[in-house]
Amino acid sequence: MPGKSYTSKKKARKQTTSNLSVIIIIIISILLIARGYAKPQEENKTNSENILLYNNSELEEHISLDDIPEYSGNAYVAINDNIPFFEDRELTTTSFEKYSELDMLGRCGEATASVGKDLMPTEPRGEIGSVKPTGWQTAKYDIVEGKYLYNRCHLIGFQLTGENANKKNLITGTRYLNVTGMLPFENMVADYVKETENHVLYRVTPIFKENNLVADGVLMEAKSVEDNGEGILFNVYCYNVQPGIIIDYSNGESFLAE
Contact 120, 162 (CB under 8 A): yes
Judged by average pLDDT, the poorest of 11-25, 176-190, 229-243 is 11-25
| Cα→Cα distances 142→34, 109, 145, 146, Å | 61, 32, 8, 8
Confidence bin at 39 (pLDDT 50/70/90) = very low
Q: Is the pLDDT of residue 211 over 80?
A: yes
pLDDT above 90: percentage of residues in the chain: 73
Residue type, 20: L
Q: Is the pLDDT of residue 20 over 60?
A: no
Q: Is the pLDDT of residue 63 over 60?
A: yes
Per-residue model confidence (pLDDT) at position 64? 74
pTM equals 0.78
Distance (Å, whole) CA 224 – CA 194:
12
Confidence bin at 258 (pLDDT 50/70/90) = confident
Average confidence (pLDDT) over 99-105: 97
Per-residue model confidence (pLDDT) at position 42? 35
Q: Is the pLDDT of residue 209 over 90?
A: yes
Q: Is 1 exposed, middle or buried (0-12, 13-18, 19+ CB in 10 A)?
A: exposed
Q: 138-167: per-residue pLDDT in tens?
A: 999 999 999 999 999 999 999 999 999 999
Average confidence (pLDDT) over 39-46: 34
Judged by average pLDDT, the poorest of 9-13, 44-48, 203-207 is 44-48
Per-residue model confidence (pLDDT) at position 18? 54
Q: Is the pLDDT of residue 6 over 70?
A: no
Q: Is the pLDDT of residue 86 over 50?
A: yes
Per-residue model confidence (pLDDT) at position 21? 55
Whole-number mean pLDDT of the chain?
A: 84
Contact 207, 54 (CB under 8 A): no
- The better pLDDT of the pair 171, 66 is held by 171
Element (H, E) at 232: none
Q: Quick one: which of 115, 124, 125, 129 has its CA closest to 204?
A: 115
Average confidence (pLDDT) over 121-140: 95
